[in-house]
Amino acid sequence: MLDPMRKYAQSWGIKIVFGLIIIVFVFWGVGNFNGDKATILATVDDQPVLIKDYEKAYQENMRLVKNKNPNVTDKELQDGGFRWQVFQNMVTTRLLEEQANKLGMAITADELRAEIAKIPAFQNESKQFDPKRYENLLKANGVAPGEFEADFRQQLLLEKLVAFVGLPAVVAESEARSIFDFMREQAVINYIPFTAADFAKGVTISDEQIKTYYDARKDEFATPAQVKIDFVEFTPKAMAKPAEITEADIETYYKANQKKYERPEQVHVRHILMMLPPDAPKDVVDAAEARMKAMAEKVRQGTDFATLIPKEPTNADGIIGEDWAWLPKGSLPKEFGPFEDKAFSLKKDELSEPVRTSLGLHLIQGGEHQAAGQRALAEVKDEIRADLAEQRAADKLTKALDVIQEKLSSGEALEAAVAAEKLALNTSEFFAKDNPPANLGLSEQALEAVFALKKGQTADTPLSTQDGFILVRANEVKEPGVEPLDAVKDVIKNRLTEEEGLKRAKAKADEAAKAMETEDGRKTVLAENKAKITTSAPFTRQGFIPGLGMAPVLVQTAFEAREPGWFKPAFGVSGAYVLAGLDKRIPADPALWDKEKERWLATLTQSKQTELFRSYLETLQQAAQVVIVNDAILGPQPKSAGNPAGAVTVK
């Protein structure tokens, strides 16, 4: 649960990542081009976009996407039109560059230096730009300083253009106040729930119903081709032999790397987070604080803190938590300083008052404190042993792979070759191409080779993985098909039971809604359901009702109601239907406007600037002439993908 806060503390920092994402779309070769058309992907207003520049942009974007989403496959990106997205961004960036140049905009060397110096990733402990750190960090990411500076200069130029286009955007205070009043107004409803779970209790599903459902929806139970493989990993981790590392080896390494094993001050904490938007209305925050304090009181009365943490993180109340985790001092971004400060101030087993951060409200319980210091050799011995074993294995990896290949080439069986070299031959479970074993780190090309194998066939060459190589033999192969009915019978039964329960809940809710159209009927329904009538917490127009989840139609109805009272229809919500009525509307707090006025004016101005820029960009795109010379490189254009400019020709 500390991860939502730690995710903001990226090593490169948000600005530099944004810069790289934008800059890789830039067209690198500007000027006249008279070469072979085989080297051109497209032209934008008669200026070429070279294939080599496009491929460079594509690979860099692919790397960035996979760094953030390691499990995404090349096929998923291709099906989603990723190649076209990269191309569209290249075209858009080209058009913006041309406009910036026409307007005489430029980034001076002084501006460039000043902006780079502001990037936290390049600063030392004193918040000063560190040239050595700058060079090392770029080198670690495979980027030359000159290349980075050209990219970053281009980013700054585009930012300057965006700011220039947005200059006419002005928001009057009266306009901002009107929007504030509208958005900050809240509603409270009373509701009677008719849940699918309650009405599913007496539902009986027959085998005939299950078979009918299965026959009508077999495509839902289709199974892709799958393979089970025998494999030998040639990675430092797989080939490591920790038993060969002596105590003397470990002690020598420990003494030579003392700094690596320094430990910051840390505290053991557990906490509950009630998610709230940063601009949540005061009444909503007050209600959340009251609920947090009630939880704290339960713990003080003997309730186990862990039992208050929801098991399902996607609950309607937006409450999540974590049962004990070590928090090193200084590991969280500054915006979560209140959380860290409070965590370190708590004594063992002490509970905090609700702590506000940009994520919401936290209830924290303190645990054991550990002072900063050197981790003892005994504490890190196993870690060092594993590191040294992997280092030695890495040195022998290529030789071991060559030996095994020679044995296989001479006709020796895989089992015998592996046994002779004292390596492990493992067997996977069945897996599909789009869901390979995560621990193997198979590349897209490796997966293609694996799924081309027949049963018992060994791949001709080692396949590359994220950490090394792998030798593969197809143990068993399953062709695409459909799950047998027996395998999915329980799944179908649960679906039908839930559907019937929801159907019955709707029927009962509709019946009650009809009865409430008369005065006597309303009295009867309310009397029969007196114990079920619930009053919601205040909510805004954003569509979410505490306790019911997303219910945009019900929210809209509540804010359209002119006076308190029950609404006529039943409303569908997650897993239920409800009868509902307006209890009250709560106007926006004038005192909150005084506090938030400047932020609302800034946000609305930025919104107008964005709209101005969008219109400006659309005008540029409509006027541009884009000719795609080698459309095969981009692949099929997804239906959802728009044209990168107004006039697109494919030759």
Q: Which two tokens stand for residue 347?
A: 């004594």
424 phi/psi in degrees, rounded to 5: -95, 130
Q: Please check the confidence at residue 194 and state whether its pLDDT lies above 80.
A: yes
Cα 481 to Cα 75, 120, 227, 475, 493, distances in angstroms: 20, 53, 13, 19, 21
Band the pLDDT of 650: cuts 50, 70, 90. Answer: low
pTM: 0.54
Q: What is the pLDDT of residue 316?
A: 59
Average pLDDT over residues 18-22: 29
Q: What is the pLDDT of residue 30?
A: 29
pLDDT in tens, 411-442: 888 899 888 888 889 999 999 998 898 888 88
DSSP string of 350-402, one letter each residue: PBPPPEEETTEEEEEEEEEEE-SEEPPHHHHHHHHHHHHHHHHHHHHHHHHHH
Which of these ranges, 59-63, 246-250, 391-395, 542-546, has the smallest mean pLDDT?
Answer: 59-63
Which of these ranges, 30-39, 393-402, 585-594, has the smallest mean pLDDT?
Answer: 30-39
| Long-range CB contacts for residues 543-550, cutoff 8 Å, separation at least 24 | 545/189, 545/573, 546/316, 546/317, 547/316, 547/317, 548/191, 548/316, 548/573, 548/574, 548/576, 548/578, 549/316, 549/573, 549/574, 550/574
Q: Which two tokens stand for residue 589?
A: 């707090």
Q: What is the pLDDT of residue 2?
A: 46
Q: Please check the confidence at residue 12 and state whether its pLDDT lies above 70.
A: no
Band the pLDDT of 16: cuts 50, 70, 90. Answer: very low
Q: Please check the confidence at residue 494 and state whether its pLDDT lies above 70.
A: yes
Average pLDDT over residues 117-137: 84
Average pLDDT over residues 541-558: 92
pLDDT in tens, 323-380: 888 888 888 877 788 999 999 999 999 999 999 988 889 999 999 998 888 888 998 9
Q: What is the pLDDT of residue 275?
A: 83
Determine the Cα–Cα distance for residues 488 and 214; give it in Å rounded to an integer: 9
- Strands 625-628 and 647-650, by their bridges, are parallel
Better-predicted residue by pLDDT, 547 or 30: 547
Average pLDDT over residues 484-493: 93
Q: What is the pLDDT of residue 36?
A: 53
Quick one: CA torsion of 165, 166, 167, 170, rounded to 10 degrees?
150
Q: What is the pLDDT of residue 8?
A: 35
Band the pLDDT of 317: cuts 50, 70, 90. Answer: low
Average pLDDT over residues 439-459: 89
The residues pairing with 61 across neighbouring beta strands, listed in sequence order, are: none
The residues pairing with 470 across neighbouring beta strands, listed in sequence order, are: 233, 463
Percent of the chain with pLDDT over 70: 90
Better-predicted residue by pLDDT, 65 or 619: 619
Percent of the chain with pLDDT over 90: 38
How far, rounded to the nearest angstrom, does the alpha carbon of residue 221 sit from its chain's CA centroid?
Answer: 27
Contact 386, 379 (CB under 8 A): no
Q: What is the pLDDT of residue 345?
A: 94
Q: Which two tokens stand for residue 287?
A: 């209600």
Residues in the chain: 651
Q: Please check the confidence at residue 638 and state whether its pLDDT lies above 90.
A: no
Q: Please check the confidence at residue 460 and state whether its pLDDT lies above 90.
A: no
Contact 351, 294 (CB under 8 A): no
Q: What is the pLDDT of residue 5?
A: 41
Average pLDDT over residues 159-173: 85
Q: What is the pLDDT of residue 13?
A: 27
Q: How many CB atoms within 10 Å of residue 277? A: 15
pLDDT in tens, 60-84: 888 777 766 766 777 777 777 888 9
Q: Please check the confidence at residue 21 and state whether its pLDDT lies above 80.
A: no
CB neighbour class for 628 (10 Å; exposed up to 12, middle 13-18, buried from 19): buried
Which of these ranges, 67-76, 437-446, 459-468, 497-506, has the smallest mean pLDDT?
Answer: 67-76
Q: What is the pLDDT of residue 63?
A: 77
Q: What is the pLDDT of residue 519?
A: 93
Contact 628, 651 (CB under 8 A): yes
User: What is the three-class DSSP state of 283?
Assistant: helix
| Long-range CB contacts for residues 217-220, cutoff 8 Å, separation at least 24 | 218/482
pLDDT in tens, 201-214: 889 999 999 999 99
Average pLDDT value for the chain:
85
Determine the Cα–Cα distance for residues 651 and 648; give it in Å rounded to an integer: 10
Average pLDDT over residues 487-515: 95
Report all structural domains of the chain as residue ranges with CATH numbers, in order of start.
3-168+602-650 (1.10.4030.10), 186-219+486-586 (no CATH), 225-240+380-479 (3.10.50), 265-371 (3.10.50.40)
Q: What is the pLDDT of residue 596?
A: 87
Cα 487 to Cα 14, 203, 215, 218, 483, distances in angstroms: 47, 22, 14, 13, 6
Q: What is the pLDDT of residue 456?
A: 92
Quick one: CA torsion of 475, 479, 483, 487, rounded to 10 degrees?
-20
Contact 257, 494 (CB under 8 A): no
Indicate the angle between helix axes 377-409 and 247-256, nearest 10 degrees.
110
Q: Please check the confidence at residue 163 and state whether its pLDDT lies above 60.
A: yes
Q: What is the pLDDT of residue 239?
A: 87
What is the torsional sign of CA 504, 506, 507, 512? positive
Better-predicted residue by pLDDT, 300 or 438: 300
Q: Please check the confidence at residue 238 and state whether its pLDDT lies above 80.
A: yes
Better-predicted residue by pLDDT, 165 or 649: 165
